[in-house]
A and B are shown apart, each in its own frame.
Chain A
Amino acid sequence: MTAGQEAAQVLLWAGVGAALLCCLGVWWMRSVFDRLHYAAAATTLPPVLIGISALISGAGATSGTVEVVTAAGVLLLVNPLVTHAMGRTARQLVFDDVGPRPEDLADTDAGTAPEQAS
């Protein structure tokens, strides 16, 4: 087994482990925003690790490898749009408004007051 194949194996299983960990996080959390954090994490690290692993191993022809890596790249680069839209919709559904709540502003004021005083 070459060093490249060993690296591909390590990256593959690291990606699978990260993806499964994110699945458990989505299941374990109770707030939709916490779940969204784990779902967003599943679109970042696992596609990178598995995409690099696929790049090392190859998917038959070169065109297949390029398409597989492109699929992983689409997951990485475009899925934040879905995460953002979903977070906005979730906030609209849960709080009936996408803007900050009064208690959020109060927390912000309380957090910045000591800095302003100094």
Chain B
Amino acid sequence: MNGPLYLIAAVALLGGWLPAVAVGLRSRPVDGMVAVQLTGVLTTLVLICLAVGLQQSSFAPVALVTAVAAVVGGLVWVRFLDREP
């Protein structure tokens, strides 16, 4: 069974958050938006790995909703990013 490997992969993917958080905290807002896009992708991949690793089909919609929400959220943020506050 590959189940435990997917859980280890999920933890490894969570490690990818560290550089993204570093960029988000230390760079300009537009760089932070790139980091937010990256974390959205990583979160979706982590949830995919969890659904497969735990063999729980009830977790799969969470990954799907996260993928769509990351796209819509990213579009909304960049829409308002270049406007004056």
- Chain A residues proximal to chain B, CB less than 8 Å: 5, 8-9, 12-13, 15-16, 19-20, 22-24, 26-27, 32, 35-36, 38-39, 42-43, 46-47, 50-51, 53-54, 57-61, 63-68, 70-72, 74-75, 78-79, 81-83, 85-86, 88-90, 92-94
Contacts and interface: CB of A to CB of B under 8 A. Distances in A.
Contact of A59 (B20, B34, B52): B52
Given A5-B2, A81-B71, A83-B37, A68 B52 contact: yes
A15 B44 CA distance: 13
Interface residues of B, number: 52
A54 B52 contact: yes
Contacts of A67: 57, 60-61, 63-64
Given A16-B9, A19-B45, A82-B74, A71 B37 contact: no
Contacts of B66: 71
Contact of A24 (B12, B13, B19, B49): B19
Contacts, number: 181
Contact of B41 (A9, A46, A53, A64): A46
A92 B82 CA distance: 7
A39 B38 CA distance: 6
Interface of B: 1-2, 5-6, 9, 12-13, 15-20, 22-23, 28, 30-31, 33-35, 37-38, 41-42, 44-45, 47-49, 51-52, 55-61, 63-64, 66-68, 70-71, 74-75, 78-79, 81-82
A54 B42 CA distance: 15
B68 to A, nearest CB: 6
Nearest to B35: A26
Contact of A72 (B48, B59, B78): B48
